[in-house]
Chains A and B, each alone.
Chain A
């Protein structure tokens, strides 16, 4: 056991059984019956439809734009270009001190400029009576450009990369000791180069916006991971107060980071609605998602490891080159896991960036770690083979007890236990280590492991909890539900905190009229909400107890809050002695319809205070602790010796994600991350033509996400040990699942074939 001793207050007692239970999603029926309305499904009587026309050059100025043919298509209401679009304010400059600015997808003020900054930038919006008419008319917009020199070839620009600057949210680099010298002196070392391609978002639901103006008031049905940020951005762009804008996003068909920022389609739908004077729906085509919504940066990475003969690391070097757009995007924390995973004596980390005339990159499930773990965990496997050590054993010999870079304590670290559990469930001891030594008929069989790692975060959340006279509980918070099960786990947490069954809890979310919620990103949403929901429930209990104590007939008269337990739909003495009362009885006697408690304020000042409090707490926390989820992936592949085809045939993941709130939805999150990681490992690659900067495979037919036949049964196991520094002991599960997956596949492929593939995806041509 390597878990660091920590001293924190004991976890809040819960008496219910909801937390941890694998209960069904509370919104499952609405989704499976089609009752759930997504952003593109909201009817308005006079709804018009918008479609985008995209640039065909990477950089230039529009010299002429002919919309006559488009305007002549029957049903077309208007064609909006930079020549006739109303002025919008430019997007806010990205700054860690203005959280809304973090949702700026690109700095382009769409249709307010003749400048083109990437191949695919929207240059016109057609509004029509039907979507078909709008799409057809958009294809008829003729644009002439003065082409300007564009830098679009990532591979060619790698040499021009510059070190990434550190900011409050992310470090560009770090060092401990002299890793270069230690590497040169190491008796055993590897020094390897890896590459990963650009990846694009392919959520089931393409981005969609339905926008309706009523004077200066705006209603937006939006597929988003950030309701508050969307509202803030639109308020800035259209010059209306935030209180005039309502953003509704109760159902989102997958986000994965792609719906975290405000992209062109959202802004232009709102603009089109204003111009047309009618509600407008803009549903991106699948191609439109590729052309206007960022993806994951491509990367090249160097990982060099130096070790003593016993495997103890003396040097760890991890550097990366990634790209941003000239009009936005940011560094992805590619070397993040390398700060925390191995107890190397000397460490050198540096992230570098090139700036290209392409659509900016954006968040995509574990931005940074998803590809950083591929390089690091592949290199560790290579070192293990060079040392003649089992790759798990090499990891265990370098498992740190404190954070390797600076000696900070781990809030929670059970990677050793995750490997023990995974190895047992997978049957790792049956593996024979020599590459090519295992066969199943004509198939080469390989088994590989890799570590998963993702930091845990928290954001601010305002929450109200209302108890009604009938004993029902209503939780209100403007969080986002993109299919993860958020509403379900919030109901579970509230149920246990107030001692009521889950069925008695209703959760309202996905609406900016509700108390301000956190954005759904960084695997932080559940912890962020829990951090406010638990004290709100506590306040509510105290208020209810106060009501009870006012009445001479109440058996709780004279009882202190600390002596009361919420259970069975009421309050009861914690020591089990004496009688308690049900919530309906307390409220009825007090003549109250309901009692409400709130954490956080939605006034401008209140929001700033709660934001500052949260950021302060998070930063303070991070000064004391290193907080993260981690895990161990075990992968089995079969490789066809004739054709090099790789099939993943078995998967076991063992995770340390603190306390699991819902064993069913958490498993889905982790499993989904593994599926996405298998896509990254074997098939996903955005083809950006280096001559034009144009994405050449913007479709599900040519951009190969895994299909069902590519995915084996995936076993997910949890350690289910609470992280004592997190609310309820939970750690977010949204992203850790994808980290390490590509390395586990690559390591298994090496075990099967003896071939190291260091360039993703591992397509069969690399194994011939």
Chain B
């Protein structure tokens, strides 16, 4: 990789100050994605600002029952945290399906939010990629598209977002707190990642000099009955073909509350609002689940190798809701 300068920040103000003064700088937390991308020459920062010493590792209960998670909380720590396991099982499960134990021990919550796609044409610098080089074209289109998006893709980019954690956060209506020299702002996670449109290189609403400082999970009785289902090409250490984060509350045989989000199908964690709309108030039955899944996938459009994802997403939504109904959050 290219040589770069290294700055170690010990407080948030210094960190955001350091990044603001340097046009081609990157924060590094766990480094589990950035270092790979630097080795593959996809990212070539001149300066790397090490934020791993910042005091952003707390997981705290908020008044009202929500939980605030520091951005540098390690994935493994968050997944094992009693508050998360009890109140947001979907989040704990989602994290544990991602990567490997070694990677989860290093990876941070903030870094997980900012993971970049695993599209092979993004990683190979001999291929054209609008995300890597705006305006270059997209070699994924017409290439191997088995892992690519079926929702929200554009003619410029058909990549997917690789995170599992973010799919759970989308279902949980989490909020992302970001900080820069201009101050602090809060963004709902569903609005945090962007669909590609004509500018697939712009992946989130964050400015280059902003730092994720925390993720907040709102109180949600519904979330205690939630689960994550990841479908992939091997039993472990593979990215999702399709994943589903779901929470369900049933009263008197009818759906009283539901949250659904999909992974592996779009450039962002896909909050399935149409499916939620169909389900709310409907009888909690296999037919309703299937109808909701079909409604959500109605606008889906396939590439030559990934049409199966549309049916797989329908089936996985249905199966996950069915499982929630019978087994709750239990593994």
A binds B: yes
0/1 string, A625-660, CB within 8 A of B gives 1: 000000000000000001111010000000000000
- Known contacts A689-B144, A696-B143: A643-B231 contact under CB 8 Å: yes
The answer to whether B312 and A768 have CB atoms under 8 Å apart is yes
A129, B311: Cα distance in complex, Å: 53
A472, B123: Cα distance in complex, Å: 56
The answer to whether B142 and A691 have CB atoms under 8 Å apart is yes
- Known contacts A136-B1, A697-B120: A642-B233 contact under CB 8 Å: no
The answer to whether A691 and B235 have CB atoms under 8 Å apart is no
Residues of A within 8 A of B234 (CB): 682-683, 704, 706-707, 709-710
Distance (whole angstroms) from the CB of A732 to the closest CB of chain B: 30
Q: Any chain B CB within 8 A of the CB of A503?
A: no
Residues of B within 8 A of A642 (CB): 315-316, 318-319
Distance (whole angstroms) from the CB of A185 to the closest CB of chain B: 40
Closest to A75 in B: B3
0/1 string, B1-12, CB within 8 A of A gives 1: 111000000000
A645, B238: Cα distance in complex, Å: 13
Distance (whole angstroms) from the CB of B137 to the closest CB of chain A: 13
The answer to whether B1 and A768 have CB atoms under 8 Å apart is no
Within 8 A of B (CB), among A108-143: 132, 135-136, 139
Closest to A644 in B: B312
Within 8 A of B (CB), among A698-751: 701-702, 704, 706-710
- Known contacts A132-B1, A691-B142, A764-B241: A643-B312 contact under CB 8 Å: yes
The answer to whether B1 and A710 have CB atoms under 8 Å apart is no
Partner of B120, one of A56, A135, A644, A702: A702
Q: Any chain A CB within 8 A of the CB of B102?
A: no
Partner of B233, one of A56, A135, A691, A764: A764
Distance (whole angstroms) from the CB of B185 to the closest CB of chain A: 34
Distance (whole angstroms) from the CB of B106 to the closest CB of chain A: 15
A683, B316: Cα distance in complex, Å: 20
A132, B38: Cα distance in complex, Å: 12
A586, B9: Cα distance in complex, Å: 76
A644, B232: Cα distance in complex, Å: 10
A707, B142: Cα distance in complex, Å: 30
0/1 string, B34-59, CB within 8 A of A gives 1: 00000001000000000000000000
A689, B118: Cα distance in complex, Å: 16
Distance (whole angstroms) from the CB of A42 to the closest CB of chain B: 25
Closest to B124 in A: A696
Tally A-B pairs: CB < 8 A. 75
A694, B143: Cα distance in complex, Å: 11
The answer to whether B231 and A645 have CB atoms under 8 Å apart is yes
0/1 string, B249-263, CB within 8 A of A gives 1: 000000000000000
Closest to B316 in A: A643
Residues of B within 8 A of A575 (CB): none
Q: Any chain B CB within 8 A of the CB of A687?
A: yes
A642, B293: Cα distance in complex, Å: 14
Closest to B236 in A: A709
Q: Any chain B CB within 8 A of the CB of A763?
A: yes
Within 8 A of A (CB), among B173-190: none
The answer to whether A56 and B126 have CB atoms under 8 Å apart is yes
Within 8 A of B (CB), among A347-377: none
A764, B139: Cα distance in complex, Å: 25
Closest to B125 in A: A139
Residues of A within 8 A of B125 (CB): 139
The answer to whether B235 and A707 have CB atoms under 8 Å apart is yes
Residues of B within 8 A of A689 (CB): 139, 143-144
Residues of A within 8 A of B139 (CB): 689, 691
Within 8 A of A (CB), among B25-83: 41
A132, B35: Cα distance in complex, Å: 13
Closest to A687 in B: B144
Q: Any chain B CB within 8 A of the CB of A765?
A: yes
A707, B241: Cα distance in complex, Å: 17
Residues of A within 8 A of B144 (CB): 687, 689, 696-697
- Known contacts A56-B126, A136-B2: A763-B120 contact under CB 8 Å: no
Within 8 A of A (CB), among B310-325: 311-312, 315-316, 318-319
Residues of A within 8 A of B312 (CB): 643-644, 764-765, 768
0/1 string, A744-768, CB within 8 A of B gives 1: 0000000000000000000111001
Residues of A within 8 A of B319 (CB): 642-643
Distance (whole angstroms) from the CB of A291 to the closest CB of chain B: 11
The answer to whether A708 and B236 have CB atoms under 8 Å apart is yes
Distance (whole angstroms) from the CB of A126 to the closest CB of chain B: 14
The answer to whether B318 and A683 have CB atoms under 8 Å apart is no
Residues of A within 8 A of B316 (CB): 642-643
Residues of B within 8 A of A687 (CB): 120, 144
- Known contacts A139-B41, A642-B319, A707-B234: A768-B118 contact under CB 8 Å: no
0/1 string, A131-158, CB within 8 A of B gives 1: 0100110010000000000000000000
Within 8 A of B (CB), among A428-468: none
Distance (whole angstroms) from the CB of A686 to the closest CB of chain B: 11
0/1 string, B206-217, CB within 8 A of A gives 1: 000000000000
A446, B35: Cα distance in complex, Å: 43
A709, B126: Cα distance in complex, Å: 34
A183, B69: Cα distance in complex, Å: 69
The answer to whether B231 and A694 have CB atoms under 8 Å apart is no
Residues of B within 8 A of A706 (CB): 234
Within 8 A of A (CB), among B102-149: 118, 120-121, 124-127, 139, 142-144, 146
A56, B3: Cα distance in complex, Å: 24
Distance (whole angstroms) from the CB of B101 to the closest CB of chain A: 11
A404, B233: Cα distance in complex, Å: 40
A763, B312: Cα distance in complex, Å: 12
Residues of A within 8 A of B41 (CB): 139
A344, B128: Cα distance in complex, Å: 53
Partner of B126, one of A644, A694, A764: A694
Closest to A73 in B: B3
The answer to whether A768 and B233 have CB atoms under 8 Å apart is no
Closest to B306 in A: A765
Within 8 A of A (CB), among B142-172: 142-144, 146
Residues of B within 8 A of A764 (CB): 231, 233, 241, 308, 312
A702, B123: Cα distance in complex, Å: 11
Can you give 22 contacting A-B residue pairs, CB < 8 Å? A56-B126, A643-B315, A645-B231, A647-B235, A682-B234, A691-B142, A691-B143, A702-B120, A704-B233, A706-B234, A708-B236, A709-B235, A709-B236, A710-B236, A763-B233, A764-B231, A764-B233, A764-B241, A764-B308, A765-B146, A765-B241, A768-B308
A642-B315, A702-B118, A768-B308 given. 6 additional CB < 8 A pairs? A643-B319, A687-B144, A697-B120, A701-B237, A707-B236, A764-B233
Enumerate chain A interface residues (CB-CB to B < 8 A): 56, 74, 132, 135-136, 139, 642-645, 647, 682-683, 687, 689, 691, 694, 696-697, 701-702, 704, 706-710, 763-765, 768
Closest 6 CB pairs of A and B: A765-B308, A709-B235, A56-B126, A642-B319, A709-B236, A696-B120
